[in-house]
């Protein structure tokens, strides 16, 4: 496994560029379009997997995008596919199932497959899309292991298609402002991060509770947001991680993790303390403490209603942006302008690397070195 | 070492009793006095150690107490002692230094010695007071090691004097309400606690930066509040702890810890994530996440201005209570009524047990089992 390490400087540069691009996309789409090489082109997205996220968030978001539109549906359930297609004016001929994805190659309406299937199927569906010559936008977590991530990256590279991961917070102005505050050290050097994301999962029929589909529990699904935030706020990769797990409902959480706390040491000296759970309500925040003060978000990781706070009382407040529209528009522009997404497969892989270390720490009852 | 373990049930009972007593002391002193066996008696406190805490908080608080009054001063600096004594009308004859503490035995004005000296001197001054037949109220941390705590407990027991530790939050209504919410499971079972206390220490002349006087750094001084809070909110003793330390200013923090993150696993399934630092501003909060919601405080551990919040928006707000007056009044009433303080030496010892485990985890790069 050969993963390029980011230095702090590289982080500053890439995030800065990405932030600029994202802010342009969010705040001045008209301007951005004017600058784009193919201003009139929109990118066709096919949604693979029709659950609540697709129905309630992603498909509606494609009505708000400037550069992306819904042109295809991929599902193993024909009735669901038909219903979604009808609702969004997608022609019958652009409906596929997971067995017919190779035929996407022949459909010029579809540029991107957005993989919204359960975690453990991301790899298979990403590879199928790539082999059909389609760019891939894959929901987080990218996959259920580092090995899978590497395979996905290699397949997309070999197929000459772009790959980006659905880390919507990287396109959200509250998070972008937190990145800026951290990067520019507006409160001095960062020392401590506290973060957590979790909620109560009571529906026992959820695929999220099945190891074969989810690959993991609260950490894989919710904790990953806190983990990501620590990485993009510190601007570094963790060099050591230690984790504890507890289960209080052995029946409900027989197959996946219920609650995990973990801490990460970053090379510049930041210590991050994080928690995740499927069994408590509204754990949803991130806060960075620096030499001269703190800033953070709560709620931090919801689809809407994010609120920021700074110790100095200055506003950390932005108008609502549809996270899904923002991320899809950015990926569409990457395709139009033929550049890589700032949230590439490497970014998804790096989180999985830490997630694997967290599970290893739990399994071995030891801290795990990542340096 | 033989430390009695508390079960959850014992916690509920003892804290419940303590909470009742404290609320009586805080909210209805007149009633409490009427019930006391010696209503007219007030307890004489001698303050040992004259730093900012004594001058700015504890001595002034003794003007607000109902059952306690300032009757003596103990200091190694005669000018400071004289000045404080004059300001509070303490007679010259009630001034002592650390070499003459044995003569306290002959002074009936003084019932209690409140030890406010640097951490590493707590043991010596506690034992001197106990041997002079005086009750001891000792600032947190109780001492710099579990062994010292045990020695202090044994000495006070042998001398037939009471010993209590200055955990002021245990007498503060916001914290008492949080204990009640946790104990009565108003939001269901607790799953996650996040807590932290830290501030920026820039004065290099501080005794807190000297290992021989402080025994430790941010953890010993500030982190202990977060640790205590996790213990009294979970109502349990941690069974496992894992910690990381970082130093970013090796000169300033050559002798003591700058920043530490640690996590604790509790037997009932609660996971606590905590941070402490001497190098970031206003890390000062505690939050408990349970099945149906959360509650917590920020600022949580300041002398004044505490603010509470509950997910359901109901108020968690109380009028200001002088923490130091409340804790000294409670100890005075313990003496008047001849009962033990709810915050005994055992309580101080239990925190040191965890603190030693945290330092051991840092030293050995492994989690430490406390079960």
Phi, psi at A33, each rounded to 5°: -65, -40
**What gap in Å lies between CA A182 and CA A189, rounded to an integer?**
8
- Contact of B142 with B220, CB cutoff 8 Å: no
Q: Do A283 and B289 touch (CB under 8 A)?
A: yes
pLDDT for position B4: 42
| pLDDT band, residue A41 (cuts 50/70/90) | confident
The vertex-A298 CA angle with A292 and A299, nearest 5°, equals 160
User: Which sign, positive or negative, has the C-alpha torsion A113, A117, A119, A125?
Assistant: negative
Among A340, A318, A343, A336, smallest CA distance to A34 is for A336
- Which of A191, A259, A275 lies at the smallest CB-CB distance from B280? A191
For residue B58, what is the DSSP state?
Answer: I
The β-bridge relationship of strands A240-246 and A259-265 is antiparallel
Task: Please tell me if residue B187 touches chain A, with a CB cutoff of 8 Å.
Answer: yes
Burial of A319 (0-12, 13-18, 19+ CB in 10 A): exposed
Domain pair B36-168 / B181-317+345-369, same fold:
no
pLDDT of residue B35 exceeding 50, the answer is no
Question: What mean pLDDT value characterizes chain B?
Answer: 91
Mutate to test the interface with A, among B189, B282, B289 (most CBs of A within 10 A): B289
- Terminal C-alpha separation, chain B: 13
pLDDT band at residue B141 under the 50/70/90 scheme: very high
Statement: residue B49 has pLDDT above 70:
yes
Query: What CATH number belongs to B181-317+345-369?
Result: 3.30.360.10
Domain borders along chain B are 36-168, 181-317+345-369
Contact status, residue B289 vs residue A282, Cβ threshold 8 Å: yes
What are the pLDDT digits (tens) for A305-315? 999 999 999 99
- Would the pLDDT of B323 be above 60? yes
DSSP symbols for B10-28 = HHHHHHHHHHHHHHHHHH-
CATH architecture of B36-168: 3-Layer(aba) Sandwich (3.40)
For chain A, the average pLDDT equals 91
Whether the CB of B194 is below 8 Å from some CB of chain A: the reply is: yes
Encoded tokens for A140: 């987080």
The closest CB to that of B311, out of A270, A274, A281, belongs to: A281
CB contact under 8 A, A289 and B282: yes
Residue B17 confidence (pLDDT): 38
Mark yes or no for CB contact B271/A273 under 8 Å: no
Distance from CA of B292 to the nearest CA of A (A): 5
Average confidence (pLDDT) over B222-246: 98
Mutation target among A244, A368, A371 for the B interface, most CBs of B within 10 A: A244
Query: What secondary structure does DSSP assign to A201-268, as a single string?
Result: ---TT-GGG-HHHHSSSHIIIIIHHHHHHHHHHHTS--SEEEEEEE-S-TTTTSSS-SEEEEEEE-TT
Do A272 and A230 meet the contact criterion of CB atoms below 8 Å apart? yes
* A275:B192 CB<8 A: yes
- Number of residues that this document lists for chain B: 371
Query: Is B346:B3 a contact under the CB 8 Å cutoff?
Result: yes
Tokens standing for residue B33: 């006095």
**Pick the catalytic residue: A140, A162, A171, A289?**
A140
Q: How far apart are CA A337 and CA A135, in angstroms?
A: 14
What phi, psi does A195 have (nearest 5°)? -150, 155
pTM: 0.90
Which DSSP string do the residues of B127-175 spell out, in sequence order? HHHHHTT-EEEEPSS--SSHHHHHHHHHHHHHHT--EEE--GGGGSHHH
pLDDT in tens, B286-316: 999 999 999 999 999 999 999 999 999 999 9
Choice among B114, B171, B225, B278 that is catalytic: B225
DSSP-based three-state secondary structure for A16: helix
Tell me what pLDDT residue B1 has: 37
3.40.718.10, 3.40.50.720, 3.40.1080.10, 3.30.360.10: which CATH number matches A188-317+345-369?
3.30.360.10
Taking residue B314's Cβ as centre, other Cβ atoms within 10 Å add up to 11
For chain A, how far is it from start to end, CA to CA, in angstroms? 14
Please report the residues numbered 12 through 51 in chain A whose beta carbons come closer than 8 angstroms to any beta carbon of chain B: none
- ipTM field: 0.90
DSSP state string for A58-119: IHHHTTT-SSEEEEEEE-S-HHHHHHHHHHHT--GGGEE-TTSGGGGGG-TT--EEEE-S-G
Mutation pick from B182, B248, B271 vs chain A, by most beta carbons of A within 10 Å, is: B271
Are the beta carbons of B192 and A196 separated by less than 8 Å?
yes
Contact call for A248 and B290, based on CB within 8 A = no
The token pair at B52 is 């900012």
Confidence check: pLDDT of A105 > 80? yes
Q: Is the pLDDT of residue B134 over 60?
A: yes
CA distance B370 to chain A (A): 14
With a pLDDT cut of 90, the percent of chain A lying above it is: 88
Average of pLDDT values for B271-276?
Answer: 98
Structure tokens at B304: 């004044």
Report how far residue B153's alpha carbon sits from residue A260's, in angstroms, rounded to the nearest whole number: 37
Closest approach of A54 to chain B, Cα-based (Å): 27
């Amino acid at each position: 496994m050969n993963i390029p390490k980011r230095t702090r400087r590289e982080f500053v540069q890439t995030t800065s560029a990405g932030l600029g691009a994202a802010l342009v996309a969010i705040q001045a789409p008209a301007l951005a379009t004017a600058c784009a090489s193919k201003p009139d082109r929109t990118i066709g997205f096919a949604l693979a997997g029709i659950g609540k996220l697709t129905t309630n968030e992603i498909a509606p978001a494609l009505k708000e995008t400037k550069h992306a539109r819904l042109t295809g549906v991929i599902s193993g359930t024909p009735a669901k596919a038909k219903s979604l297609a009808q609702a969004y004016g997608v022609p019958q001929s652009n409906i596929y199932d997971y067995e017919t994805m190779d035929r996407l190659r022949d459909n010029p309406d579809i540029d991107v497959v957005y993989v919204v299937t359960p975690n453990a199927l991301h790899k298979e569906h990403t590879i199928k899309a790539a082999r059909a010559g389609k760019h891939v936008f894959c929901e987080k977590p990218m996959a259920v292991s580092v090995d899978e991530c590497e395979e996905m990256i290699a397949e997309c590279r070999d197929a000459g298609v772009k790959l980006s991961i659905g880390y919507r917070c990287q396109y959200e102005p509250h998070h972008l402002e937190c990145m800026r505050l951290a990067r520019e050290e507006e409160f001095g050097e960062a020392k401590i991060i506290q973060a957590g994301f979790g909620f109560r999962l009571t529906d026992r029929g959820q695929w999220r509770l099945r190891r074969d589909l989810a690959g993991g529990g609260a950490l894989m699904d919710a904790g990953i947001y806190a983990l990501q935030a620590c990485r993009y706020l510190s601007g570094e990769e963790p060099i050591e991680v230690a984790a504890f797990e507890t289960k209080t409902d052995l029946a409900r959480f027989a197959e996946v993790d219920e609650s995990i706390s973990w801490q990460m040491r970053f090379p510049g000296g930041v210590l991050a303390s994080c928690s995740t759970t499927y069994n408590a309500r509204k754990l949803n925040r991130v806060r960075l403490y620096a030499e001269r003060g703190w800033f953070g978000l709560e709620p931090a990781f919801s689809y809407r209603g994010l609120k920021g706070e700074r110790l100095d009382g200055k506003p950390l407040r932005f108008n609502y942006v549809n996270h899904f529209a923002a991320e899809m528009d950015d990926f569409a522009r990457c395709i139009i302008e033929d550049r890589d997404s700032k949230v590439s497969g490497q970014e998804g892989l790096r989180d999985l690397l830490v997630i694997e270390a967290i599970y290893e720490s739990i399994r071995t009852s030891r801290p795990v070195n990542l340096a």
